[in-house]
Amino acid sequence: MSILVDGSTKVICQGITGTSGAFHTKGCFDYGTKMVGGTTPGKGGTKDANGLPIFDTVQDAVDATGATASMIFVPPPFAADAILEAANAGIEVVCCITEGIPVQDMVRTKHILKEFPDCCLIGPNCPGIITPGIRVDGEGSSATFRDGCKIGIMPGYIHVAAADAPSGKSVGIISRSGTLTYEAVWQTSAMGLGQTTCVGIGGDPVRGMGFIDLLAKFDADPETDGVVMIGEIGGTDEAEAGVWIKENMSKPVAAFIAGRTAPKGKRMGHAGAIIGGSDDTAQAKMDALKSCGVSVCESPAHLGIRMAEALGIDVPQEVAS
């Protein structure tokens, strides 16, 4: 199984005619995602390079296609309104890739989204979500897949569907870091593990779904055997997730916290990655997770190994060391 999206999910792209929107719509379309259209105000009634219909509004797109998920590549000044437009149109999974959205815009958006409890927001400033498809043919970036759903910018070919996992076990992946999401995927695939769903939640301080929201979904998914969780400096989300894991999680969790060498008070890359006190340093978060029974990696190079060990999969000694 999977969480949030699967091969039957119908997806639209808000901002489909922009450079990034057009490029990544094609990537998702080629992967096998059921891309059913997109929106650009003023261009309704036309089609994109993939032959997908373009609509003026999200409501028009939903009415015509039955879409339940949206991928947002709208410029930062308008992206928060794009999120709310999608929610108002009944979109169930809104994946906002856009980075640089003003924090106050997201504070307002999060408050209004309380009126739409059935809408799940992923991001902003994130790589997206993917439920890997079953490999049909080919290798590497030329491989073809079926029954998967890729929304966003993740490289689909590095993923392994649960049905294709050599070990017979699969994991869910949750990450604040885009690049480390891909690293975790690559490593778990190399260990013979599949991935049920991978979610990049984004590094902004105000965002949609968090660790606990997704841990609960993975814990309830019968096909997910464990979870890889990747956090960063800044905020308290990881420590709170640790407590939730200790009290509620029935499956093993392997974690890594990025930013151990970041100086206090200095912004490091993501808008949310800034140490404000002793409790949100990488080491403090690592200690908190360890105290809750989470298998914490000292290096991102060990994510696949620790997850495999937690699932009882034999790891060669030369690899484990």
| Pair 168, 266 in one domain | yes
Contact 6, 61 (CB under 8 A): no
Q: Cβ contacts of residue 127 below 8 Å, gap of 6+?
A: 97, 152, 153, 154, 178, 181, 182, 200
Q: Please give the Cα distance from 82 to 88 (Å, whole number).
A: 10
Q: Is residue 139 part of a domain?
A: no
Q: Is residue 57 part of a domain?
A: yes
Q: Which two tokens stand for residue 3?
A: 């969480």
Q: Domain containing 207 — which CATH number?
A: 3.40.50.261
Q: Which of 122, 148, 181 is the last residue of a domain?
A: 122
| Pair 200, 118 in one domain | no
Please report the beta strands in the chain, taking only residues with DSSP state E, as ranges in sequence order: 10-14, 34-39, 54-55, 69-72, 93-96, 120-122, 128-131, 134-137, 144-146, 149-152, 170-175, 194-200, 226-232, 253-258, 295-296
Q: Which two tokens stand for residue 98?
A: 């856009």
Closest CA to 215 of 162, 165, 253: 253
| Pair 187, 101 in one domain | no
Q: Kindly list the catalytic residues.
A: 270
Model pLDDT, residue 161: 96
Q: Please give the Cα distance from 256 to 295 (Å, whole number).
A: 9
Model pLDDT, residue 112: 98
Total structural domains within the chain:
2
Q: Which of 122, 149, 184 is the last residue of a domain?
A: 122
Other Cβ atoms less than 10 A from the Cβ of 115: the count is 10
Note if the pTM is more than 0.85.
Answer: yes
Model pLDDT, residue 259: 81
Please report the beta strands in 147-260, taking only residues with DSSP state E, as ranges in sequence order: 149-152, 170-175, 194-200, 226-232, 253-258
Q: Which two tokens stand for residue 11?
A: 């997806």
Q: Which of 96, 122, 148 is the last residue of a domain?
A: 122
| Pair 185, 287 in one domain | yes
Q: Please give the Cα distance from 101 to 76 (Å, whole number).
A: 5
What type of residue sits at position 90?
G
DSSP 4-41: S--TT-EEEEETTTSHHHHHHHHHHHHHT-EEEEEE-T
Q: Which two tokens stand for residue 68?
A: 């339940």
| Pair 90, 207 in one domain | no
Strand 226-232 relative to strand 253-258, pairing: parallel
Helices 237-248 and 282-291: crossing angle, nearest 10°? 10
Model pLDDT, residue 278: 53
| Pair 300, 239 in one domain | yes
Q: Is residue 5 part of a domain?
A: no
Closest CA to 31 of 123, 128, 135: 135
Q: Domain containing 54 — which CATH number?
A: 3.40.50.720
| Pair 168, 267 in one domain | yes
What is the sign, positive or negative, of the torsion defined by CA atoms of 240, 243, 249, 251? positive
| Pair 177, 291 in one domain | yes
Q: Please give the Cα distance from 174 to 193 (Å, whole number).
A: 15
| Pair 171, 228 in one domain | yes
Q: Is residue 188 part of a domain?
A: yes
- Which domain range does residue 201 map to? 160-320
321 residues of the chain, pLDDT tens digit each: 799 999 999 999 999 999 999 999 999 999 999 999 999 999 999 999 999 999 999 999 999 999 999 999 999 999 999 999 999 999 999 999 999 999 999 999 999 999 999 999 999 999 999 999 999 988 888 889 999 999 999 999 999 999 999 999 999 999 999 899 999 999 999 999 999 999 999 989 899 999 999 999 999 999 999 999 999 888 889 999 999 999 999 999 999 998 877 776 655 555 555 555 556 688 889 999 999 999 999 999 999 999 999 999 987 665 555
What type of residue sits at position 203?
G
Distances (CA, A) of 164 to 21, 189, 287: 30, 10, 35
| Pair 187, 297 in one domain | yes
Q: Is residue 137 part of a domain?
A: no
DSSP state of 47: B
Return the biggest CA–CA distance within the chain: 60
| Pair 216, 96 in one domain | no
Q: Which two tokens stand for residue 64?
A: 């015509």
| Pair 205, 91 in one domain | no
Q: Is residue 167 part of a domain?
A: yes
Contact 188, 309 (CB under 8 A): no
